[in-house]
Copies of this chain bind each other. A is one copy, B any other.
């Protein structure tokens, strides 16, 4: 096991690297030529423009040395913006997301204080490990202030049991308050929201085929009959996946075209050339500008043909549509009720906001959807459990003693104290980190196959998968496998009673590993996040080769966004580690608290200055967050029960059994109280908004407002002619819309009315 010295070295290294990242960030962000990397959000909002300094140098490098002195100024600045303004600036999703970190702080700061005040003295005076020093189990200094130092069957365990209850109560109380708070924030947010197309619309899927009517007629008739006073219009969904691919390909070619054109302009003496084969490396040499002009022309024709065919071919219409209603009340009713006796057709759900729609998945039949989910569940199972193999291998190698046993010839190198500490401190964490980096994209692809229809639900679903993976592989995998390898021989020669005791003692022994992990993944990882190395490099590359106009520069920015699918499950691991180790090894807690505080600071800065969310779901992920924190809490309670039952306190199980039951009940209770705020839109709120709107804008032409709200993105910026009638209506001063005027792609043909 790693000793205090190892931990200290590791902590020092990680703190230094974190500090290095922060200093680098502080310097880089002050350079005007990096401004678009570190403040893209302000550019996107139109508040910040490109620097227009007096001299050319000042445009690129900041020479005002006074600013460097206050290089940590961004930290208080990040905390400065009040929350309502933050919600206005960055959206509710982001504001709620950083509250997860705040929740971590709120939960663990008092727990840490309490644990150090009560449990550390109790543990420290246990004096068991010294006495057992001669025995087989290895131990470190940290274990002395952990539960391992309490003698077998001691009454001191009652302190741990009591504290476990206190910790659980505090966690539940904080969770309850936070759930209530977030639900209220969401309701306020929705109530304050201005008119949006999704308030009036419902996504209808699995429209059954009709021999006599086209899809659009069928939809119109169905809703005219069944929602007679509320139905307004609908927009069918086109299968534009192929068209989207062509558009994407054209865009890539255009980038190359611009690149070669820029090259030619800088050096007009030589026309740039390229090769027609694989990646411009093989094949015949041709004039690059001509080649790309030609290719783009061909694709443009292809695109136009495909566009034509999508719009005119009835087979391109998918059995799905966005149906809009005259009032929000009508949309709420339609989204929350069942339409027909067959629950596999005419499925209605509250429409996601237009930019949140995941277009590819709108037309999956019911049975296929079920099959896909089954297959993906099985796949997830195998994915989760096959990752165990390499992790187990690396984990077992990552132990100095094991390495020396397996590769005796490495002994002289490794026994060098500094190298030994380095290996001990870094290797296990890094190995895990690499594994985890591969995963999110696979999980997202799996979620897409499962057929979810909005980006937000894809994110939430991927997060669940990732959490499961982290729980099994990172947490349980690290606890069980590492130990199994270390003490396998010991186990095999023991009776079953002794065996369970040794397993129980595993959790405290793994504390040092997890401390290392927190420092590598949590501290240094978060500090690296603020530096944004990858966007920094890509921006400068693009800037050098592609950017010609101010608009191009706008495009070259990659503000990125909060990646809920990967970030949230990782935070959950910290919640779980904190809860598991709070009564067992309090020494781990300060590391968790520092992580939450530091991460809160960094991410608050990022959402203010950098990230640009792709969609706004109104914090609809909070029930998942809450549920997973509760799950971590229950796991920690069960693990404590298992641990104590092996320490000679048979009554402890009885004293602890109520804890997971009460916690689960608490979860159910909170779910009943708050979850519906995240799932359903209440009729009363809809009615209030409707009434208000009728009073304020009695002449609103909703049909025009909704006309093209739900259009596949490839149709949204094309050059088709807008019908004159719509122009008229839109120019009519009576009809105010908050929507920026868009060119309209399709005629009114598929937007019926009754």
Contact = CB atoms under 8 A, between A and B. Distances in A.
Interface in A628-672: 661-662, 665, 668-669, 672
A229 interface: yes
B187 A668 contact: no
Contact of A687 (B226, B333, B662, B672): B226
Contacts of A669: 370
Interface stretch (A150-158, A304-312, A338-346, A719-727): A338-346
Interface stretch (A212-220, A505-513, A674-682): A674-682
A537 to B, nearest CB: 46
19 contacts: A226-B684, A227-B683, A229-B229, A333-B337, A338-B682, A339-B682, A339-B683, A340-B682, A341-B682, A341-B684, A341-B685, A343-B672, A343-B673, A343-B676, A344-B672, A366-B673, A370-B668, A374-B662, A378-B661
Instruction: Give the oligomeric copy count.
Output: 2
A337 B665 CA distance: 25
Given A336-B336, A337-B337, A377-B665, 10 more contacts: A337-B680, A337-B683, A338-B676, A338-B683, A340-B684, A341-B682, A343-B672, A343-B673, A344-B672, A370-B668
A225 interface: yes
A493 interface: no
Contacts of A336: 336-338
Interface residues of A, number: 39
A665 B339 CA distance: 25
Interface in A332-374: 332-333, 336-341, 343-344, 366, 370, 374
Contacts of A496: 496
Interface of A: 187, 225-227, 229, 332-333, 336-341, 343-344, 366, 370, 374, 377-378, 496, 661-662, 665, 668-669, 672-677, 680-685, 687
A225 B683 CA distance: 10
Nearest to A668: B370
A634 B206 CA distance: 31
Contacts of A684: 225-226, 339-341
Contacts of A677: 341, 343
B187 A341 contact: yes
Contacts of A674: 343
A622 to B, nearest CB: 15
Contacts of A682: 337-341
Contacts of A344: 672-673
A544 B680 CA distance: 61
A677 B343 CA distance: 8
A456 to B, nearest CB: 20
Given A374-B665, A673-B343, A673-B344, A226 B683 contact: yes
